[in-house]
Amino acid sequence: MDSIGMVGVGAMGGALLHRLRLAGVQPTVYDKDPAAQDAAGAAGAALAPSAAAVAEAATLVDVVVVNDQEVLDCTLGPAGVLEGARPGSLVLLHSTIHPRTTRQVAEAARERGVDVIDACMVGRPWFVREGKVCFLVGGPPDLFERAQPHLARMSKLVLHMGPLGAGNVAKLIKNLVTGAETLIIHEAIKIGEAAGIEYRAGLEMMRQVYSGTMLDHWQDTFDDSGASSAPRLAPVIYQKDVPTAVEVGREYGVDLPISERYAVAVERILGVRT
């Protein structure tokens, strides 16, 4: 059974640490922030003086830092994870980062006989603490199988998305959709406000009449045979309703940079003229 280490025990790492402690696991941890380090110690974790020391004490290391540069610093830098990692160890990169960063760390680790996979987290700290986080994993199947029991202790769902870096891309495209939805909703309620609909009333109306995300029944829109990823769309929405909404917004003087690109996007992607 793997011994567990964790580098980065801030908001997300601290929440993962909470789940591990509930599962009866006492990891060895390090954080460059003394306050985070002290909080982890108070929560029962064994403290290490560096990321390298964490890797010396563990065979499986969770890296839970903020961005690409922090991942590179704490894995490849002085006193970093790879400096202390033993051959046969497995490093899990949990940050939302570019897949090339994951590949860079993995290539350096391979020279030391250490394996690396990406295991991106979907969920905020309170989600993690409640055991509701999901992990999106990229890497060889055998490494996924090795990491899966550990990840399952901290989450409600662990998905193998494909080769190394696929977990990074899966998290990025998920966030792309989430961000796009928020921005288009913002444009929609601006049109409503211009027409006299108080924005909270507009948001509540959409919540109450909401029929669920397309992803709840994606097979109705996308081909589930795997032959093509092009969506099958209801023409009335793209040829009539969206252009009319944009026209109304223009008449009210509302700036709609995203909505106005609908016509161009639909024509380029699907060959449908609005």
CATH assignment at residue 39: 3.40.50.720
157 lies in the same domain as 200: no
CA atoms of 229 and 9, how far apart (whole Å): 39
Does 237 lie in the same domain as 193? Answer: yes
Task: Supply the range of the domain harboring residue 27.
Answer: 4-170
Same domain, 224 and 145: no
Whether residue 40 is found in the same domain as residue 162: yes
pLDDT at position 230 is 80
The verdict on 93 and 206 lying in the same domain is: no
Which one of 170, 189, 204 terminates a domain? 170
- Distance of alpha carbon 192 from alpha carbon 173, whole angstroms: 29
The last residue of a domain, from among 143, 170, 197: 170
Q: Are residues 162 and 184 in the same domain?
A: no
Residue 115 sits in the same domain as residue 238: no
pLDDT in tens, 120-140: 999 999 989 999 999 999 999
Same domain, 114 and 233: no
Q: Are residues 159 and 193 in the same domain?
A: no
Question: What is the predicted pLDDT for the residue at 234?
Answer: 66
Answer yes or no: do 43 and 148 share one domain.
yes
Cβ(90)–Cβ(59) below 8 Å: yes
Residue-wise pLDDT tens digits, 138-149: 999 999 999 999
Residues 118 and 144 both lie in one domain = yes
The confidence score (pLDDT) of residue 218 equals 86
Q: pLDDT tens track of the chain, all 274 residues?
A: 899 999 999 999 999 999 999 999 999 999 999 999 999 999 999 999 999 999 999 999 999 999 999 999 999 999 999 999 999 999 999 999 999 999 999 999 999 999 999 999 999 999 899 999 999 999 999 999 999 999 999 999 999 999 999 999 999 999 999 999 999 999 999 999 999 999 999 999 999 998 788 888 888 888 889 898 888 766 677 777 888 888 999 999 999 998 888 767 776 766 666 5
Q: Which of 170, 205, 236 is the last residue of a domain?
A: 170
* Cβ neighbours for 156, distance < 8 A, ≥ 6 positions apart: 131, 132, 133, 134
Note the pTM of the prediction, 2 decimals: 0.90
Question: How far is the CA of 173 from the CAs of 97, 98, 189, in angstroms?
Answer: 12, 12, 24
Domain count, the chain: 2
Which SS3 state, helix, strand or coil, does residue 28 take?
Answer: strand
Q: Which CATH number does the domain housing residue 199 bear?
A: 1.10.1040
- According to the model, what pLDDT value does residue 188 have? 94
Phi, psi of 189 (to 5 degrees): -75, -25
* pLDDT score at 132: 95
Q: In this structure, are 76 and 160 located in the same domain?
A: yes
Q: Taking each helix axis from N to C terminus, what angle separates 99-110 and 68-76, rounded to the nearest 10 degrees? A: 10
pLDDT at 210: 86
